[in-house]
Amino acid sequence: MKSVIYYGKHNMVLKEVPIPAVSQGEAILEVRSVGVCPTDVKAFFMGSSSVKSPVVLGHEVSGVIHESNTSRLNDGQRVNVAADSPCLQCTVCKKGFQNLCPDMTSLGVNIDGGYSRFMRINKDFVNKGLVYDLNDKISFDEGALIEPVAVSLHCLNLVSWDGIENAVVIGDGPNALIHIQLLKKVKNVENVIVLGLSAERLHMASALGADRTVNVLDGQSDLDMLKGTGVDVIDITIGNREAMIEAKKIVGKGSRVLVFGGSIQDSQLPFTMNELHYDQLTMTGSSGTSIGNYILAADIVNSRIIDLKRLITERFSLSKVHDALVYSREMKGLKCVVNPSTG
């Protein structure tokens, strides 16, 4: 079978390798769609300390069970495989932070992911139920995006939404477009405002339910309107200091700030202790997702509460994974996927 092996920074090779053997309790997935994630882009162009190469990248995976050696999965079953399997035994997991488990087994990190014609579904994933059915109405491309929905939902579930009237989403990338839809359709936030830099992406944000969009390149006066009363929740979907500086301009009494996007270059927060104290600000980061939020995300995707179809703007074959990573890095469209069965 064809498989794209990652050896490290700028080093990824399409190879012919044997289809993985299936041991007791495991299954083999015929991969149909893999969402291209910024972490894949980062691993290829900048390297990654967490990825244990050589490994196959790709952790947003859907496909069909090709061969099963477990009663839990059947040949021909259409599924999404979760990206991560937390150990559930360590003190971090037991404290309720499965998403931060230091002993995580993760596709494309320490076991092979989806940029491959076939992928082994690890016994641990089978036993923990980390394989989710896709209904017949959902395409494999949509089904692959359960993972980004799950991590987005995890972030939004970290704060209470009771009485929340307005939220500002900073960023207009694919994840932001998922956040916007979850805020409108799942959290029922009355007023969702999006700050971004791309007219095209902001247009899509409006089409997907945003009540107002502000292009920070030309909309400073619009931004000024948000000052004063302050915004209830500020959801930062991009990892850069400028986003946090924008957030600082619009926080008010009791605002909650969510930091969803990881920064390539780390930086100090632009808030003072007293600003935090006197405005009673709540800030939380969010990384990964829990099994519970993954199950909720699978339900949301299967029921088509949110529109993922319009987020997928390009498809690539397995031999074009490099092009897919470039497409994603250059932010040409929105989300792209790799379809390994197309050659």
Least spacing, CB of residue 42 vs Zn ion, in Å: 11
Least spacing, CB of residue 141 vs Zn ion, in Å: 15
| Residue number, 85 or 302, with CB nearest to Zn ion | 85
Applying CB under 5 A, the span of 6-14, 29-37, 113-121, 283-291 interacting with Zn ion comes to 29-37
H or E, element range at 326: helix 321-329
- Structure-block tokens of residue 260: 């969803």
Least spacing, CB of residue 93 vs Zn ion, in Å: 3
145 binding Zn ion? (CB under 5 A): no
CA distances to 37, 113, 115, 116, 337 from 62, rounded to whole Å, are 14, 11, 11, 12, 11
| Residue number, 20 or 261, with CB nearest to Zn ion | 261
37 binding Zn ion? (CB under 5 A): yes
Q: In which residue are the tokens 């900073």 written? A: 170
Binding residue count for Zn ion, defined by CB under 5 A: 7
| Residue number, 41 or 101, with CB nearest to Zn ion | 101
Least spacing, CB of residue 157 vs Zn ion, in Å: 18
| Residue number, 86 or 340, with CB nearest to Zn ion | 86
> How many Å apart are CA 280 and CA 17, to the nearest integer?
56
Q: By CB under 5 A, what part of segment 76-105 binds Zn ion?
A: 86-87, 90, 93, 101, 103
Least spacing, CB of residue 96 vs Zn ion, in Å: 11
CB under 8 Å to 336, separation ≥6 — which residues? 36, 312, 313, 314, 315, 316, 324, 327, 328
Applying CB under 5 A, the span of 31-39, 48-56, 220-228, 317-325 interacting with Zn ion comes to 31-39
Q: In which residue are the tokens 């299954």 written? A: 27
| Residue number, 37 or 250, with CB nearest to Zn ion | 37
Least spacing, CB of residue 98 vs Zn ion, in Å: 7
| Residue number, 93 or 208, with CB nearest to Zn ion | 93
Least spacing, CB of residue 208 vs Zn ion, in Å: 19
In the shown chain, the binding pattern of residues 108 to 127 toward Zn ion, with x for contact by CB under 5 A and - for none, equals --------------------
| Residue number, 37 or 231, with CB nearest to Zn ion | 37
Strands 231-236 and 212-215: unpaired
Q: Is the dihedral of CA 302, 307, 308, 309 positive or negative?
A: positive
Contacts 24+ apart (CB under 8 A), 43-51: 43/6, 43/9, 43/108, 44/6, 44/9, 44/10, 44/12, 44/322, 44/325, 45/9, 45/10, 45/325, 45/329, 46/9, 46/264, 47/8, 47/9, 50/109, 51/6, 51/108, 51/109
Residue numbers of the site for Zn ion (CB under 5 A)? 37, 86-87, 90, 93, 101, 103
